[in-house]
Every structure is written in C-alpha cells, then in structure tokens.
Amino acid sequence: MLRIHCPYCQELRDEPEFHYCGEAHLARPEDPAGCSDAEWGTYLYFRRNPRGRHHEMWYHAAGCRRFFNVVRDTVTYNIEQTYAMGAQPAHDEAHE
C-alpha cells in the first residue's frame, strides 16, 4: 500500500484515504469554442501514460477533501514529492 503525504494536512496517510484523479497540470484551452474537434478531443481524452516518472493529481477524500499533485514513478510506485494545486514541483527540470 502506498503512503501518501498530503501537502495540506502535512501528514503521511494510507492510500485508501485518497483517490487518483489522472494526469496533473492539464491546461484547458483558453477558447474552447475556437478549438477544432480534434483539438477538443485531444484535450478531453488523450493523456500521457509514461513508464516511469509521472505527474498526477490526487484527492484526499477521507481527509481534508482537497486536490493536490504527486510526482510518482509508475514502475517502482515511489512517490518523489507531493505539492499543492497551483504550485510547481520542486527541483523539476523535466517538467514543462
């Protein structure tokens, strides 16, 4: 079982308290009506599925009920860091 540090509660808690919510840092198109069907479809349905380091959004459902971000390795399940929504990961040259 994963142990996840919630950046709001400032506690290391068990995974069943959380829900995985998909890829982090997805930017909604500024003008959705101006998007082509392909652009809108890409935004809605296409996600990265890397083998290795991944930026994810999680929800602390049985705790503070807030969303936050996690940098996790999808192979080893090692959690590198967690950080609040709206923030960027610390020491992260690979993240654009």
The only residue of 2, 9, 35, 57 in contact with Zn ion, by rule CB under 5 A = 9
Near Zn ion by CB under 5 A, which window of 17-25, 38-46, 60-68, 80-88?
Answer: 60-68
> Which residue bears the tokens 């590198």?
80
Judged by beta carbon, residue 2 or residue 9, the one nearer Zn ion is 9
Q: How many residues bind Zn ion (CB under 5 A)?
A: 6
Reduce the DSSP state of residue 20 to 3 states and report it.
strand
Residues in the chain, overall count: 96
CA angle 63, 64, 67 (to 5 degrees): 110
Reduce the DSSP state of residue 38 to 3 states and report it.
helix
Is 89 near Zn ion (CB under 5 A)? no
Judged by beta carbon, residue 9 or residue 35, the one nearer Zn ion is 9
Is 6 near Zn ion (CB under 5 A)? yes
Other beta carbons within 10 angstroms of residue 55's beta carbon come to 21
Is 8 near Zn ion (CB under 5 A)? yes
* Residue 76 one-letter amino acid: T
Residues that bind Zn ion (CB under 5 A): 6, 8-9, 60, 63-64
